[in-house]
Amino acid sequence: MSKIAIIGNGISGVTAARFIRKNSMHEVVLISEESEYFFSRTALMYVYMGHMRWKDIQPYERGFWKKNKIDLIQARAESIQFDKKCIQLNNGSTVNYDYLILATGSKSNKYGWPGQDLSGVRGLYHKQDLEYLERCSSGIRRAVIVGGGLIGIELAEMFQSRNIPVSFLVREPQFWSMILPEEESKMISRHILQHGIDLRLNSQLKEINGDEAGKVHSVTLDSGEEIKCDYVGLTAGVSPNIKFIESSEIETDRGILVDEYLRTNIPDVFAIGDCAQLRNPRRGRRDVEAVWYTGRMMGECVAQTICGEQKIYDPGIWFNSAKFFDIEYQVYGQVPSKMTDDLESFYWAHENGKKSIRIVYEKIQQTVVGFNLMGIRFRHEVCEQWILRKSTLDKVLEEIRLAFFDPEFYEDCSAAILENYCKKFGKKIEATAGWRLDEANLFLNKNNQKT
Ligand SMILES: Cc1cc2nc3c(=O)[nH]c(=O)nc-3n(C[C@H](O)[C@H](O)[C@H](O)COP(=O)(O)OP(=O)(O)OC[C@H]3O[C@@H](n4cnc5c(N)ncnc54)[C@H](O)[C@@H]3O)c2cc1C
């Protein structure tokens, strides 16, 4: 039996602990600073908005850890002596290990803006950030959000739920335009404005200004304009939280460098989740992917390797989902913000300006490589199978209804999409499949038998 220490009790660390327990009787100790118990970071916004209580976002009962013989230590790991396999904690104690898993997550980016450490200026990542925001909220007459990504728009929605006016600074010409293609980016920019947010495109923060007590009172933009505010949310992305080991012998770049087995350069030391950077990511995947499900997959994978069944980390085809206020967003496969020379896309938008689909395909072979969906939910497995099967654009359009959910709950736009496609491309295509789950399952099973 070995002793396994895990630093970080987020989704990746907790998944690793659970699966090590499932697969073995190894001793497991989970060290984490932020909170005693695991919680769902993705649900933080719902606590602020009053949809959930703090206890609702902790999926395991208190007794779970003891019952499963997973020891919890709430402390910060200050440093690690890798040669002695020993972790030094901020409470003065040490923890020895046979295997170590680093799962320390991300931190909010700060770019050295003047005034970034004033009181009333904070990122949104940790539980303590939310608690701080809660303490400040009653005194906020206007908030400024710096950085237009997924956390920025969540923060805008959070402020709005408390009737706090928001100015939202986005450096790019449209919201999230480094990731979203132009039409989708414009759709979401419009949507943000429709929600009464003062969205400032092409706007860069120059400095954050404070009063004599060190409390924020305004921000100055590059244009020279000053916006009065009582709170500044810094949401210009996140980066791996690895400062405490950067000067050690472990190899890092933006994150902790790992191979396909999630091994670092130090024997018996692994890194998973947001803090890990893959040396050789798979085609179509990034080296650092700060999303929930990849943390979970890495946790499961590393547990298997440590328990003796070496497993390569293979996240499959890229997917992600989020929401922009009430517009749901899903992406499967490759959807570049600007089409490359070899790719084209078919784009259809609903007349209400709040729903669209984009299907990306290879120009020459016409094979589909990606889907971008706004306000319309497609079945994940169906999209994945189309991409894996290298289905042509015509074939996907013929079968498009397979991806739709029950139209009793979701509007079935497939006829309008097909009509628009035939018109644009001068084709005659008829739907060959329905939306019913049994048809989708048949399609998936059929394909499973083939592969
Ligand atoms: C507001 C918000 C909304 C999000 N929404 C989504 C979403 O909708 N979908 C999605 O896919 N992703 C979302 N994400 C991203 C997702 O939450 C992260 O990708 C995921 O939580 C990362 O998990 P992790 O286990 O790698 O690290 P984390 O969850 O960051 O956990 C790491 C833990 O390690 C602790 N730690 C760090 N250093 C030390 C140390 N030296 N000693 C002790 N403990 C340490 C940290 O305090 C932290 O508790 C969101 C993130 C935020 C902030």
pLDDT tens digits along 58-115? 999 999 999 999 999 999 999 999 999 999 999 999 999 999 999 999 999 999 999 9
What are the structure tokens assigned to 360, written together?
């990306």
- Residue 439: pLDDT band (50, 70, 90) is confident
Chain centroid to CA 418: 32
118-124-130 Cα angle (round to 5): 90
What are the structure tokens assigned to 2, written together?
């070995």
Distance 88 CA to ligand 1 centre (A): 22
Q: Ligand 1 pocket check: which of 7, 15, 42 to mutate, most ligand atoms within 8 Å of Cβ?
A: 42
Distance 41 CA to ligand 1 centre (A): 6
Q: What percent of the chain has pLDDT over 70?
A: 99
Q: Ligand 1 pocket check: which of 12, 36, 41, 102 to mutate, most ligand atoms within 8 Å of Cβ?
A: 41
pLDDT tens digits along 411-426? 889 999 999 999 999 9
HSE (side-chain half, CA atoms, 13 Å) at 404: 22
Ligand 1 atom having least distance to the Cα of 290: 19
Contact predicate 108/125, CB 8 Å: yes
Distance 106 CA to ligand 1 centre (A): 6
- Residue 213: pLDDT band (50, 70, 90) is very high
- Residue 450: pLDDT band (50, 70, 90) is very low
Give the mean model confidence (pLDDT) for residues 270-277. Answer: 98
Question: Which residues have CB under 6 Å of ligand 1?
Answer: 7-13, 31-34, 41-42, 44, 76-77, 103-106, 124-125, 151, 154, 241, 244, 273-274, 290-293, 295, 322
What are the structure tokens assigned to 20, written together?
């090590």
Instruction: State how far the Cα of 417 lies from the Cα of 407, in Å rounded to an integer.
Output: 15
Looking at residue 89, its pLDDT comes to: 98
What are the structure tokens assigned to 86, written together?
């020993």
Give the mean model confidence (pLDDT) for residues 333-358. Answer: 97
Looking at residue 451, its pLDDT comes to: 39
Ligand 1 atom having least distance to the Cα of 293: 11
Contacts with 388 (C-beta within 8 Å, 6 or more apart), sequence order: 317, 447, 451
Contact predicate 28/37, CB 8 Å: no
What are the structure tokens assigned to 14, written together?
């907790």
Instruction: State how far the Cα of 412 lies from the Cα of 64, in Å rounded to an integer.
Output: 43
* Main-chain dihedrals φ then ψ at residue 26, nearest 5 degrees: -55, 150
Q: Which residues of 266-302 are buried (b: 16+ CB within 10 A; e: fewer)?
A: bebbbbbbbbbbbeeeeeeeeebbbbbebbbbbbbbb
- pLDDT, mean over the chain: 96
Distance 10 CA to ligand 1 centre (A): 6
Ligand 1 atom having least distance to the Cα of 154: 1
Contacts with 348 (C-beta within 8 Å, 6 or more apart), sequence order: 356, 357, 358, 413, 416, 417, 420, 421
Asked if the model's pLDDT at residue 442 lies above 90, the reply is no
Looking at residue 407, its pLDDT comes to: 76
Distance 72 CA to ligand 1 centre (A): 17
162 by Cβ neighbours in 10 Å (0-12 / 13-18 / 19+) ranks as middle
User: Can you name the residues that pair with 371 across neighbouring β-strands?
Assistant: 332, 359
Distance 43 CA to ligand 1 centre (A): 11
Nearest CA to ligand 1 atom 48: 8
219 by Cβ neighbours in 10 Å (0-12 / 13-18 / 19+) ranks as buried
Strand 166-169 relative to strand 198-200: parallel, antiparallel, unpaired?
A: parallel
Asked if the model's pLDDT at residue 336 lies above 70, the reply is yes
What secondary structure letter does DSSP report for 361? E
Distance 8 CA to ligand 1 centre (A): 9
Tell me which residue has tokens 């499973």.
448
- Assessment of whether the complete model's pTM goes beyond 0.85: yes
Strand 269-271 relative to strand 276-278: parallel, antiparallel, unpaired?
A: unpaired
Ligand 1 atom having least distance to the Cα of 244: 41
- Residue 448: pLDDT band (50, 70, 90) is low
Length of the chain in terms of residues written? 451
Looking at residue 446, its pLDDT comes to: 62
Asked if the model's pLDDT at residue 208 lies above 80, the reply is yes
Give the mean model confidence (pLDDT) for residues 342-368. Answer: 97
Looking at residue 406, its pLDDT comes to: 76
- Residue 436: pLDDT band (50, 70, 90) is confident
Ligand 1 atom having least distance to the Cα of 12: 25
Asked if the model's pLDDT at residue 202 lies above 60, the reply is yes
Ligand 1 atom having least distance to the Cα of 323: 8
Ligand 1 atom having least distance to the Cα of 272: 26
